Amino acid sequence: MEGGLDYMEKLINTIIESVKEKKVQSYGKKILKKCSFKSKNDLSNIVIFATWLYIYGYNEYALQVCDLLSDVSFNGNYDLWNNADYAACLKARILRENSVEDGRAELLRRVNEHREPELYPNTVDYYRNTINVNIESDDKYHPGKITDFWRINKLIKAIEYREAGGYPVSDEELEKDIEELIGDLRRIAK
């Protein structure tokens, strides 16, 4: 991890002191309470924390949180790697949105080195249908309390697929989904 555990703790404390959004606070506190870089759940908390920062427009903080996973190397365990993969994709997205090319290609090269694009067609139904069914089901069975789990899941997938490239769904469709999901998640988390 870039900067070590002391750096991570200091960064997260700075963020939760500065950003008062409920989801940012919640995930920041979870990470401070327990964080092992050998736990997929703990790494997932880090990327969801970065995602909420991105959703709310705290892109500099989101980049710094993504960098916490920059030293995670692929060891054959996709449960751990998928979090580092997504952190690199989110960072690449923020850089692209800010017209920064420096370092972006290297991030995406690293990500695509451990992907199998020939399997992408098998995931389109999950992305387009299964996740949407789960979002609709959550909305139906929890009226008045729209949940964010499946929406965050779809946002993460959309960002991964859009930034890494080569996914058999158009960039336009992915961008539309990303925009809608960010709007929904901002509303839900209030």
> Residue 2: pLDDT band by 50, 70, 90 thresholds?
low
> Residue 189: pLDDT band by 50, 70, 90 thresholds?
confident
- Final residue belonging to a domain, choices 70, 85, 115: 115
Q: Flag whether pLDDT at 1 surpasses 60.
A: no
Query: Phi-psi category of 3—alpha, beta or left, where left has phi over 0 and alpha has psi -120 to 50?
Result: left
Q: Are residues 10 and 95 in the same domain?
A: yes
Average pLDDT, the chain: 93
Q: Are residues 78 and 26 in the same domain?
A: yes
Q: Flag whether pLDDT at 8 surpasses 90.
A: yes
- Final residue belonging to a domain, choices 86, 115, 144: 115
> What local confidence, expressed as pLDDT, does residue 140 receive?
87
pLDDT tens for 111-163 read 999 999 899 999 999 999 999 999 999 888 876 666 789 999 999 999 999 99
CA distance 135 to 130: 9
Mean pLDDT, to the nearest integer, of 34-63? 96
Q: Are residues 146 and 105 in the same domain?
A: no
Domain count, the chain: 2
Q: Are residues 67 and 39 in the same domain?
A: yes
pLDDT tens for 72-85 read 999 999 999 999 99
Q: Are residues 100 and 137 in the same domain?
A: no
CA distance 180 to 184: 6
> What local confidence, expressed as pLDDT, does residue 77 receive?
92
Q: Are residues 102 and 13 in the same domain?
A: yes
Q: Flag whether pLDDT at 190 surpasses 80.
A: no
Number of Cβ within a 10 Å radius of residue 26:
16
> What local confidence, expressed as pLDDT, does residue 4 receive?
72
SS3 of residue 56 by DSSP: coil
Parent domain of 128:
119-188
167, 174 contact by CB (below 8 A): yes
Q: Are residues 13 and 64 in the same domain?
A: yes
Q: Flag whether pLDDT at 171 surpasses 90.
A: yes
